[in-house]
Structure 1
């Protein structure tokens, strides 16, 4: 089963006066929809746009796997576990908040920053926070997140190129750039597909495209 969610259906948040624009694919903050709380392990998929100098001051997280993908610009990350990193397009950043951690996220550059941050529920709560960044992950290299029973596939496609959708109980496909076709549906930037019991599906790029695919166990 495929449920397509369009970019225009996302909840708007953030603080435009502070240079922050947020688009939420799932219930988040003051936007609550009991029918849209999660899909598989995914609890949130937030697109954040930060103007130069804007950011999120130190704030807490716990019992959440947080994966960040930068679309354009550079994201400065600092956390109370001692990590200080600049995340760039093509990098995958993971913060396992476990029993609790605080972090800061800012655009310290001189151009706008756009990134997507995905929150996943861990299989087991608690533990010690951990952090990882993979620089310039290759297109054919999946990123495993065993703490949530999930795997991320970042695909950068050329016009006409096809890629298989993982056969899995749950697959979440989020289009970052360009347009792709999925089982008769055209998906553009910000569109997503929530796929249950995926089997034998393909994505076809209509031009240059970038898609994030989450493969998740039941």
Structure 2
């Protein structure tokens, strides 16, 4: 990480994201890794290299595909997403459940809108989720999978640590990721509720639903994001019921 960082807050509006649209998928990409139009100036922020907001139609999804040396965290906003991988793990991810996959030496997996295979019920609505990738501390580790239900009360009105590899969150985070410099926090806010952002060399605030007021910046609406460098501590206030995701990062990627 550079020794000297200039304090900045950069707002990225929802409509500025690259998009991939297929008959079954509407995907918005905050970064250009893996997109059809790579942008050398927008490959990552801190350790975060992928931040996709996806809407997958009923009975469809991502067929089996490979990943390697990446920490992948999935957060469902609406509906149910079925995960199956080559290590024998399977599960149904729904709102309020944290899921992490460490791709490590290599793993194959699929992600589909809730299918007959695991629930016995035909999906009728799209599944809406955010998938986020951070680089691991070390390459070539054994692939792992973890998911855990998070109590609604823990997410209500406070910034709760969903996933972390940082020592200071060892007993507080819902799930672990294999990067000791990164943590993901989430909060569901009622009108007027307020949280304070952590201070870190790199932060990424994403408004998953609703809208919030960011101290010193203005209103961020659904799909908007703010990238913080060498700053933090700002207050975030819900101007309507909202859900936010915050990455706290104490190192940066080289991609």
Assess same fold via TM > 0.5.
yes
* DSSP-derived class of the 1:168 partner: strand
Q: What's the TM-score, normalizing by structure 2? A: 0.82
Deviation (angstroms), 1:193: 0.4
Task: Tell me the matched-pair count.
Answer: 216
Give distance in 2, aligned partners of 1:65 and 1:54: 24
Q: 2:164 aligns with which of 141, 145, 150?
A: 145
Structure 1 contact 45–118 (Cα < 8 Å) conserved: yes
What displacement does 1:34 show? 0.3
Residues 89 and 136, structure 1, Cα contact 8 Å, conserved in 2: no
Give the superposition deviation at 1:145.
Answer: 2.7
Aligned partners of 1:79, 1:131: CA distance in 2, in Å? Answer: 9
- What's the CA shift string for 1:22-50, capped at 9, x where partnerless? 11010032121000000011001011111
Question: After TM superposition, what 4+ stretches of structure 1 lie above 3 angstroms from structure 2?
Answer: none
Residue 158 (structure 1) aligns with: 190
Which residue does the alignment assign to 1:120? 134
1:180 to 201, 206, 212: 212
Q: 1:190 aligns with which of 223, 234, 237?
A: 223
**Structure 1: where are the runs of 5+ without partners?**
none
Shift in CA distance, 120/14, structure 1 to aligned 2, threshold 3 Å: farther
CA contact (8 A) 2:11 2:226 kept: yes
69-78 or 191-200, larger mean C-alpha shift: 191-200
The more displaced of 141-150 and 60-69 is: 141-150
SS in 1 for 2:207: strand
Q: Are the counterparts in 2 of residues 165 and 198 from structure 1 also a CA contact under 8 Å? A: no
1:20 Cα deviation after fit: 1.1
For residue 31 of structure 2, what is the aligned residue in structure 1?
Answer: 26
Alpha-carbon contact 2:67-2:107 (below 8 Å) kept: yes
CA distance in 2, matches of 1:198, 1:158: 25
- Alpha carbons 2:203, 2:232 under 8 Å: kept: no
> Per-residue deviation at 1:200?
2.5
Mapped partners of 1:5, 1:100: distance in 2 = 32
CA shift, 1:125, in A, is 1.1
- Computed over aligned residues only, the root mean square deviation of the Cα atoms, in angstroms, reads 1.2
Q: Say which SS state the counterpart of residue 208 (structure 2) adopts.
A: strand
Find 1:5's aligned residue among 4, 9, 12. 12
Give TM-score scaled by structure 1 length. Answer: 0.95
**1:173-204, CA deviations, whole angstroms, 9 ceiling, x for partnerless residues?**
00011111112321011000000112331111
What SS does the corresponding residue of 2:82 show, helix, strand or coil? strand
Distance in 1 between residues matched to 2:186 and 2:39, nearest whole Å: 28
